[in-house]
């Protein structure tokens, strides 16, 4: 008997035992005289079901999970006998959580072998590049503009406009930089796609290179992502072997190659100009803008900087999908958003869906509420600089403008859920503390303000003149918002003020933090 089985090598799946399950499977197959083809994929993103195994059948892939090594023998017996099993989840594509999604960016993640360029091509990979090679620079950029794609790193700047600026800049050398620092709390989509479909990121960067006339690219990956570094490096080597990177890519006159650079663990190095400093071998300190990186970026030359997911959206768009992409979404938020559900949530994972879905649908319906079973009290959307939303705002649709209208941000699409045991005053204090720790130190409102914020919050928590100190915090937040050089100090007030506005009751009772009397 022959079996083809898929198990993720995704870091999150490995963290809960995917490697042990894979080993047990190989041993079990040998024992039963079964010929096993084991493919290590990325994750499908249903993390509460990991490690999840899928077996190829005539009807499609059938999933089992979550597995422990101890489950493998009985699962193998059930597969061989085509019988029932308590961990059998049915056809993977029919699992409601997966079926409800619109997977444009994550279509191949968990499906293909991320180490195989042939598998990538067999699933539509490099069709976007082939088409791009036949187009002019302007036509490629027009396609990106037509798709309505906005940067997925957080700020939501229109990608095509950025590319046009770099394309029009006059320079002998230009660069493409992929921001894979992914520092936001509760986010993991960049990691997932780099581990599960790395060729797509490389293809997206290569198309950007052709569009703007750049021949060199860098991927800046955070050091906490060793599996992603390995996967991307393997894919770069594979793309070079297949002629998709290096001189004359895809048998054309275009040259393009990519190198990986590993960060050293600073949140601020995700800010694009600090990332450039770090790429140049310096300390990650924010640069004043202007000049924009599109005019003077890496080594002072015109540079496209985009998030991993922005580049990952490009191959679909260039393969003829610009209109289909633009047809999804709402308002000025076009296409799909890979949303990451995390924190205290029952069904955490990656949910890619068209813009427009509400926060409540995501948290209650799709996420299934809290893992603790207690009521959801607050969610933080958009990373450590994003706002806390109470239940009353759960009708907010996922859309850049709708979130901004409610003093929040969509950011990189991370949602972190808290139950009713959360203390929002501590969360507000944490926002200041995080900023104090991660500030690059270049400007005073952030460097000094964050520390003063922690001290003042400590007084509020200790019940020392809470009203006066909350007023002080409000003033401080105004200064940080208006006076900070970058969004690190400029947005720290967002979690602070949203916590104070929506959960005022947590700021007026004396807490237990030991603070010296004023």
Rg of the chain (C-alpha set): 24
Q: List CB contacts of 302: < 8 A, sequence separation 6 or more.
A: 165, 166, 169, 171, 174, 175, 212, 214, 294, 295, 296
Give yes or no for residue 194 binding ligand FMN (CB under 6 A).
no
Task: CB nearer to ligand SF4: give 5 or 269.
Answer: 269
How far apart CA 367 and CA 379 sit, in angstroms, is 12
Structure tokens at 312: 């990952």
CB of 153 to ligand FMN, least distance (A): 3
Task: CB nearer to ligand SF4: give 318 or 450.
Answer: 450
Binding partner of 442, given ligand FMN, ligand SF4, none, CB within 5-8 angstroms per partner class: ligand SF4
Binding partner of 506, given ligand FMN, ligand SF4, none, CB within 5-8 angstroms per partner class: none
Binding partner of 231, given ligand FMN, ligand SF4, none, CB within 5-8 angstroms per partner class: none
Give yes or no for residue 287 binding ligand SF4 (CB under 6 A).
no
Q: Per this entry, what is the length of the chain?
A: 518
Give yes or no for residue 305 binding ligand FMN (CB under 6 A).
yes
Tell me which stretch binds ligand FMN (CB under 6 A): 91-99, 153-161, 247-255, 349-357. 153-161
* Choice from 152, 164, 442, 459 touching ligand FMN (CB under 6 A): 152
CB of 100 to ligand SF4, least distance (A): 38
Binding partner of 216, given ligand SF4, ligand FMN, none, CB within 5-8 angstroms per partner class: none
* Choice from 228, 268, 424, 454 touching ligand SF4 (CB under 6 A): 268
HEC-encoded secondary structure of 316-362: HHHHHHHHHHHHCEECCEECEEEEEEEECCCCCEEEEEECCCEHHHH
Give yes or no for residue 157 binding ligand FMN (CB under 6 A).
yes
Give yes or no for residue 196 binding ligand FMN (CB under 6 A).
no
Give yes or no for residue 90 binding ligand SF4 (CB under 6 A).
no
* Choice from 258, 279, 362, 486 touching ligand SF4 (CB under 6 A): 486
Sites for ligand FMN among residues 272-301 (CB under 6 A): 272
* Choice from 133, 339, 485, 494 touching ligand SF4 (CB under 6 A): 485
462 touches 477 (CB < 8 A):
no
Sites for ligand SF4 among residues 424-443 (CB under 6 A): 439-443
Give yes or no for residue 446 binding ligand SF4 (CB under 6 A).
yes
End-to-end CA distance of the chain: 77
- For ligand FMN, how many residues bind (rule: CB under 6 A)? 21
How far apart CA 388 and CA 112 sit, in angstroms, is 37
How far apart CA 410 and CA 402 sit, in angstroms, is 9
Nearest C-alpha neighbor of 216 from the set 232, 226, 205: 205
Q: List CB contacts of 83: < 8 A, sequence separation 6 or more.
A: 77
Give yes or no for residue 273 binding ligand SF4 (CB under 6 A).
no
Rounded to 5 degrees, φ, ψ at 287 are -95, 145
How far apart CA 334 and CA 328 sit, in angstroms, is 6
- For ligand SF4, how many residues bind (rule: CB under 6 A)? 14
Give yes or no for residue 384 binding ligand FMN (CB under 6 A).
no
Q: What is the dihedral of CA 317, 323, 329, 332, to 10 degrees?
A: 90
CB of 190 to ligand FMN, least distance (A): 7
How far apart CA 38 and CA 111 sit, in angstroms, is 13
Binding partner of 441, given ligand FMN, ligand SF4, none, CB within 5-8 angstroms per partner class: ligand SF4
Burial class (CB in 10 A: 0-12, 13-18, 19+), 207: buried
Where on the chain is the footprint of ligand SF4 (CB under 6 A)? 268, 286, 439-443, 446-447, 484-486, 488-489
Where on the chain is the footprint of ligand FMN (CB under 6 A)? 151-155, 157, 179, 181-183, 268, 270-272, 305-307, 310, 486-488
């Amino acid at each position: 008997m022959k079996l083809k089985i898929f198990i993720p090598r995704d870091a999150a799946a490995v963290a809960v035992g995917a490697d042990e399950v894979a080993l047990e499977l190989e041993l079990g197959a040998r024992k039963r005289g079964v010929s096993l083809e084991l493919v290590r994929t990325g994750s499908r993103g249903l993390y509460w079901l990991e490690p999840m195994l899928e077996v190829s059948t005539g009807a499609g892939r059938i999933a089992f999970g979550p597995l422990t090594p101890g489950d493998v023998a009985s699962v193998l017996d059930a597969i061989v006998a085509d019988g029932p099993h308590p961990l059998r989840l049915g056809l993977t594509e029919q699992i409601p959580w997966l079926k409800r999604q619109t997977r444009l960016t994550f279509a191949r993640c968990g499906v293909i072998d991320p180490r195989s360029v042939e598998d990538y091509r067999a699933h539509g990979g490099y069709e976007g590049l082939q088409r791009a090679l036949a187009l002019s620079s302007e036509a490629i950029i027009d396609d990106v503009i037509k798709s309505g794609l906005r940067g997925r790193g957080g700020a939501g700047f229109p990608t095509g406009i950025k590319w046009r600026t770099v394309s029009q800049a006059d320079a002998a050398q230009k660069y493409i930089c992929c921001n894979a620092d992914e520092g936001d709390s509760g986010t993991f989509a960049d990691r997932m796609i780099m581990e599960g479909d790395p060729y797509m990121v490389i293809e997206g960067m290569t198309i950007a290179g052709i569009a703007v006339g750049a021949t060199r690219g860098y991927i800046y990956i955070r050091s906490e992502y060793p599996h992603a570094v390995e996967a991307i490096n393997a894919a770069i080597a594979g793309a070079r072997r297949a002629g998709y990177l290096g001189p004359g890519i895809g048998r054309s006159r275009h040259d393009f190659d990519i190198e990986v650079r590993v960060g050293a663990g600073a949140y601020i190095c995700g800010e694009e100009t600090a990332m450039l400093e770090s790429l140049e071998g310096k300390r990650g300190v924010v640069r004043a803008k202007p000049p924009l990186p599109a005019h003077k970026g890496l080594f002072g030359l015109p540079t496209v900087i985009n998030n991993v997911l922005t580049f990952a959206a490009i191959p679909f768009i260039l393969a003829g999908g610009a209109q289909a992409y633009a047809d999804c979404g709402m308002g000025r938020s076009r296409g799909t958003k890979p949303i990451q559900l995390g924190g205290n949530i029952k069904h955490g994972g990656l949910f890619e869906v068209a813009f427009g879905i509400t926060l409540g649908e995501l948290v209650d319906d799709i996420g299934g509420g809290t893992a603790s079973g207690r009521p959801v009290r607050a969610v933080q959307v958009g990373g450590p600089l994003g706002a806390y939303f109470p239940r009353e705002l759960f009708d907010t649709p996922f859309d850049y403008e709708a979130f901004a209208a409610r003093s929040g941000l969509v950011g990189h699409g991370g949602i972190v859920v808290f139950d009713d045991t959360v203390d929002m005053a501590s969360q507000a204090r944490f926002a200041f503390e995080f900023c104090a720790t991660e500030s690059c130190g270049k400007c005073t409102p952030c460097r000094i303000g964050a520390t003063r914020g922690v001290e003042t919050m400590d007084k509020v928590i200790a019940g020392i003149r809470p009203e006066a100190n909350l007023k002080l915090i409000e003033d401080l937040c105004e200064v940080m918002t208006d006076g900070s050089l970058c969004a690190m100090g400029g947005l720290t007030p967002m979690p602070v003020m949203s916590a104070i506005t929506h959960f005022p009751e947590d700021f007026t009772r004396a807490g237990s933090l030991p603070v010296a009397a004023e």
